[in-house]
Amino acid sequence: MEYITFKKSNCRNCHKCIRYCPVKSIRFSGNQANVISDECILCGECYVVCPQNAKQIADETEIVSVLLGSGAPVYASVAPSFTAYFNGIGIASIRAGLKQLGFADAEETAIGATFVKREYERISREGVQSVVITSCCPTVNTLIEKYYPEITECLAPVMTPMQAHCTDIKRRHSDAKTVFIGPCLSKKDEAARVGVDAALTFEEIAAMFEKKGIVLESMRDHDEKSRARLFPTSGGVLNTMTYKNPLYDYYTIDGLDNVIPALEDIRHGGIEHCFIEMSACAGSCVRGPIMRRKHPSSVRDYQAVSSYAGKEDFNVEQPEVSQLVNEYRPAFLHKVKPSHTELMEILRKMGKVSPADELNCGTCGYNTCRDKAEAIYQGKAEINMCLPYLMEKSERFADNILDNTPNGIIVVNDSYEIQQLNRAAMRMLHVRSRSDVMGEPLIRLIDPIDFINAAQYGKRIVNKRDYYAEYDIYLELTIVNDKKSGNMIGILRDVTDEESERKSKEELSRQTIETADKVVDKQMRIVQEIASLLGETAAETKIALTKLKESIANEDS
């Protein structure tokens, strides 16, 4: 069963889950993170740190609802950290609420913790194991089994409090079903492996209460015989032990950042006669992943648990030693590793051609570039997860486009300082080197008034043509205001040739018009002269004809 699932729509390439995963059991492919189940230790760090809430814990409320409707009596084992999650609520209130949901009864997992701590006292008294690591935390157990198999024998061969308690419930009630309720994600996996019928988080049981309209009564009952309620606090296991063998040194180590180095020390030998309480969560179970997401105050949670604990053990009958034994076995993960040649080839593809290129910045989620290269070889990572590589690649691509476009590009920030300049703009504005003008005021090159109008007054500047006398050039300016980045992009087009051609055409048109005017004037003069000559001829003809007419008339008379 997948206990952590990812929402694809929410995963945003931040790689934060990989960065915080202590064993790097997350595969990133196709811009999507996925848990590698075989390698995961279910610490819940990815769930806690995800800024987009892209991780979800498998919901078992439906499974529990089916159990409650099955007719079999269902008993709840409630982790002692409940008093921190449900502020001001005692076990009697929790029991009443669970019975309203249909549970036959509810008991504290601290009863099982009492069994376990007595077993630790027995192991301590016998002093057979040189190094004893408490086995209460299933995440630590899984971490050792998978990643430190050679020291698995250091784990105390004792059930976890959950397993011990649920086993005891089923011993007392042969037909019972058991459901663990607590702050831990890894308990879900442990429950499936050890015969506990289901495991709910406090968040899930709170949702069930809300769905049924059940309001827990604010009541803090107290029982002096409840020392094992301290188990979920840092050092809580050792604080409940009434016997400590002077041959052992007793230590509390919590938080995987501290646990892993301690396991490395044990693996390499030289550590003897130590009894170590180990918890995966810094602050122990009271700071489990569910608690950390909902309760930012660790002090308040610690106080809630410690103030509810008694000073003596629960008055319960201890099971036989054989009934509490749990053997932890090495899991032996088989991870393929690249050869030196293969590793160097992957580094080369990442743009790491020399040790100086290996920034080890951690933005990809891996501690070093070589760790990342190894993850690529194992199919867990992609080359483009490297932010410096992507930035350099994008910059090269952008620079290649900018430097090969015929248009000039000039980028200024909101203070009108030059941020970028391409080759075409350098040529147009007579700039010899980018470094001469980068970060300098725009006024050093051109009048910034158009940029000011575009930024402050929203004036639209598109294809504005001007003559820049200092450069003896005509430029056409378009300004794009990128409000998200706070930058403005000026696009310059050299239109000097167009302007010269336009002027040549204008001059030619002017000359043509002048010539046409001259021709017309000349033609008009010719027409007028012709008209004048024609007029004189017509008059003379008229006179002649008139005289002829008169002459003929006289002859007839």
Give me the helices (H) in 316-471, please: 340-349, 369-377, 387-404, 423-428, 449-456
Token digits for 156? 């105390």
* DSSP state for residue 58 in the 8-state scheme: P
pLDDT of residue 193: 94
User: Do 487 and 498 meet the contact criterion of CB atoms below 8 Å apart?
Assistant: no
**Mind listing the pLDDT tens digit for each residue in 160-207?**
999 999 999 999 999 999 999 999 999 999 999 999 999 999 999 999
Structural Rg of the chain based on CA atoms: 44
pLDDT of residue 557: 58
Which CATH number describes the domain made up of 406-494?
A: 3.30.450.20
Q: What is the DSSP pairing of strand 105-108 with strand 74-78?
A: parallel
pLDDT of residue 395: 76
Going from N- to C-terminal start, the domains of the chain cover 1-58, 59-323, 341-404, 406-494
**Mind listing the pLDDT tens digit for each residue in 279-335?**
999 999 999 998 887 777 778 889 999 999 999 999 999 999 999 999 999 988 888
User: Cα separation of 263 and 267, whole Å?
Assistant: 6
What is the architecture of the domain spanning 1-58? 2-Layer Sandwich (3.30)
Under the banding of pLDDT at 50, 70 and 90, the label for residue 556 is low
pTM of the shown model: 0.76
At 417 the three-state DSSP class reads strand
Calculate mean pLDDT across residues 27-54.
Answer: 90
pLDDT of residue 378: 92
Find where tokens 């076990």 sit: 91
Classify domain 341-404 at the CATH topology level. Answer: 3-methyladenine DNA Glycosylase II; Chain A, domain 3 (1.10.15)
Would 341-404 and 406-494 be classified into the same CATH topology? no
- As a three-state string, the secondary structure of 209-224 is HHHHCCCCCCCCCCCC
DSSP assignment of 254-305 equals ESHHHHHHHHHHHHTS---SEEEEEESSTTGGGG-HHHHHH---HHHHHHHH
User: Cα separation of 449 and 416, whole Å?
Assistant: 10
